[in-house]
Structure 1
């Protein structure tokens, strides 16, 4: 059991946990279930105690629900892989809980093939991380230092923003050369910097349907002897794969407004801007804005706002979802701002709407 990947099941329905236990190919995947929890609060206690590497969680549970549990996992236990199991009615907000880095989401009733495919993804990611740490030696200070740079790289890469990626890597070099970072890097952990950011690049390629086979770059033993050599290597890797992605997108070469609309329908919880959309679909802001309004009789900003408000209104009907979580799932990090926008849109505050729906 010591070498097996540890899994925690979280669901207030015992029969769902039993189905997952029955359908999972635990032995062949080298996994073992080390605990079960009825809600998110109990799950967090067991996570502290049992240190699982994978958490399979329902979304609708009493007390601390799946949305909140995933949020805490993402912030406090980023190395834990999570899989969402959701009922049909939960599908929309379960899907957007993936923004808290869930590996996959499954609909109830659980399909055995889909369950084991999700578990295999978790196994591969856990083993890849273990291999990296075994080879390089884990330095949590290095990982902590990289965290904000990873967030920005993820955003710029998905926006096809070459200049943004370059800027982040240049800022990383400056940070690695700073006095504070030199204290962290004194034991030569630049290889870990490269490895962690290459793992991020592979993740970004997967999200954008790029082949991982093309992620092969040669380097010399001296490449990681300095921050300059390390970041130069990463610039080549990110630049090459970003060029490849841009060519993939440009190949379509004609603006498809339905694709633009579907992109917003899928990514509305993210900080989408007109500039980002125009860059991603290779047209000017003016042309995109004019074409979208002609086709859908409203501008992009209004379409996005209405989409977020409709989703937020739906989620308010479920009392188990905290309003703060609803704001975040609708794309608003600032809850106060969400309250203002919601009230302006519907003429009533979120809390009042929820209270009135109970009558």
Structure 2
């Protein structure tokens, strides 16, 4: 509603206006009355009014002086003059002071309401036009921001066609932008790759995290840009005054990144890993900072999730593998080549436990040696279906965020393919060992022992123990447990089975005992394995 002030020294006139005019129906609110010009000015200032209805003749300050004074305070206020004086001089002054209506007393209710309706229409039109202007300005500003983001992204991606044209465009959109120093940071949402778009409303998580990142970045400087590179990775381009020193800028970047990392985890329960590159002299050189931030982010494998990795940190890492790495790698390769099941898993655990200590070997070495081990296992065991082709192996390795994740996946794959290879090669073993393997595969659901097999084929338990370990490279008990665990994994992927039912189906009467054996073998509880499997389907 528009606010109206009445000014007249006749109390009877004021009361008549109050009672007779249907203010609400006109979309108006009578917010105050004044008996002289000075009082009217005070009310207009205090109540931020839109319309003034005033008499000409009033004590202290007349209507004409009132309008002249108001134009200095509120030039947009609409004025209706109602006066008993019809002299041309008053009407001329009223027009000069942009009074919208000049009504002569006595005036009718209809004339006053018609005049007010015209003013309401004028105010509505002015508001509409103002909104249109604001909308156009906002759209222009948003469009300019979009263009600016696109230009900066083209710098980071090195997709610039004309550097001179780019320079001109940047300075037109953001005058003075070339004078400031720049740092590029990369932030990556941890644990997001394994979640499908339907799970936990992934789209909302990404949107919420983007807002947190943008708010944190622009809280430091509203010129800072946040660019989405993919669903879980963002670039922050931070701008600083050219006069600021290295230490101030470096500390400011660290403060911004720590702040957004903490905010993200508190609000969304997702952690963030962040990196940043060196300070460069202007935005045209931002790609250099971006490249070094990107190289730092690759080393998330070594530093772990929820880390803030400086571009200088990765310079401390030796790009060549140290002697312990190479020796562990050699042992692991030998175990795989000889299809030594237990030795392979032992060497895998030792090798990746050493790598996980951090700063031991470079990111490229970890990926290349993991790729080498898997392709070697595929070649020797001929288990294409279990491992996949080289492209899939490389793609999977690059999807992991930590050394521990690579270790777990590679161990599970080697465990599966080597067991399958051992079963496939049963024809190379003695008839006694073939019988034992076949007996386990057919009877693992029962509480079987080595004595049961001994009674079946009339050979001593000691002899069978030694023979099985010698030919299979694994003890009878361990082979039985591994067989049961592989079957349990398949059943856990099916939600219709409860955990106690799965325990019974793989030969365990006690759910608790089964859970302990499963965790010891797989590294996760049955429930944890099922949840993890659900995320990766």
Larger RCO (CA under 8 A, 6+ residues apart) = 1
TM over 0.5: no
Bucket of the pairwise TM-score, normalised by the shorter protein? 0.3 to 0.5
The two structures have a TM-score, normalised by structure 1, of 0.36
The two structures have a TM-score, normalised by structure 2, of 0.24
